[in-house]
Amino acid sequence: MLQELETNTELKNALLNSSNVVILTGAGISAESGVPTFRDKEGLWKKYRPEELANADAFMQNPQLVWEWYQWRRRLIHDVKPNPGHYALAEMEKLYPNFTLVTQNVDGLHREAGSSNVVELHGNIRRNKCFDCGKFVEVPDLDLQETPKCESCGGLIRPDVVWFGEMLPADAINLAFNVSRACDLFISVGTSALVHPAASLPVMAMQGGAYVLEVNPNATAITPSVDHTFYAPSGEILPDIVKFVKENRNQ
């Protein structure tokens, strides 16, 4: 892996000479922490596709089913810890003057690992809000099976995540568009790059002239158009990349 970093001059220049860096992460970066991606088998829940549960219609028709699925996912991530990939990105933030980490993940592991400039495109599964009035509500009991109701308006409480068919938070996606258009280096990590508008970000970066690097054990929708792909788990390659930049940046 390091061999490639030494011999690929364009890649080396992009890593060592960039000032404006954008990272896009997907479920794959958390896979090594034990958080299943949507393409993994999900035990009890495998008879449902995530698209069938993670949407407002499903919640209106059967709030109990959707609530229980989220409670199950929350219990799943409750005890997980960031992995070396998350920590490497937190380190990387300190190496570049302008660094933005855009994530599609809802698990909160980037902040837990120490990243500070994090843009959450799809919300955060640890938060809840009222389906009707939008008020944020704490639900500390991870075993609570009955869908709670809002104390202000009586509406049902839902997780503060972006469901299929819903708009992304405007501030978050606009910021992500702007930094992607203006960056010198864009790294897409652990995302299948299929879900738009997040999947447009690497394309915008390419159009803006950035060097686009991908980290994924498998080829994705953007693999044919990126400058380079490391076919490796993010927890293995990202620490190597950070080490390389630290050792060579000021030479």
Binding site for Zn ion (CB under 5 A): 130, 132-133, 135, 150, 152-153, 155
Q: Which does 155 bind (CB under 5 to 8 A by kind): ligand NAD, Zn ion, none?
A: Zn ion
Measured in whole angstroms, the distance separating CA 233 from the mean position of its chain's CA atoms is 15
Q: Would you call 122 a catalytic residue per the annotation?
A: yes
93 close to 103: Cβ distance less than 8 angstroms: no
Residues 198-227: x where in contact with ligand NAD by CB under 6 A, - otherwise, as a string: -----------------xxxx-x-------
Q: Active-site residue among 78, 86, 110, 122?
A: 122
Q: Peptide bond before 82: cis, by omega within 30 degrees of 0?
A: no
CB neighbour list of residue 222: distance below 8 Å, 6 or more residues apart:
188, 193, 199, 202, 203, 212, 214
Q: How far apart are the first and last CA of the chain?
A: 21
- Does residue number 84 form part of the binding site for ligand NAD (CB under 6 A)? no
Helix axes 234-248, 9-17, angle to 10 degrees: 70
209 close to 54: Cβ distance less than 8 angstroms: no
Which of 82, 123, 159, 190 binds ligand NAD (CB under 6 A)? It is 190
- Does residue number 38 form part of the binding site for ligand NAD (CB under 6 A)? yes
Nearer to ligand NAD, 53 or 179 (CB): 53
Q: Which does 152 bind (CB under 5 to 8 A by kind): Zn ion, ligand NAD, none?
A: Zn ion
Which positions lie near ligand NAD, rule CB under 6 A?
26-28, 30-32, 35, 37-39, 104-107, 122, 190-192, 194-195, 215-218, 220, 233-234
Catalytic (active-site) positions: 122
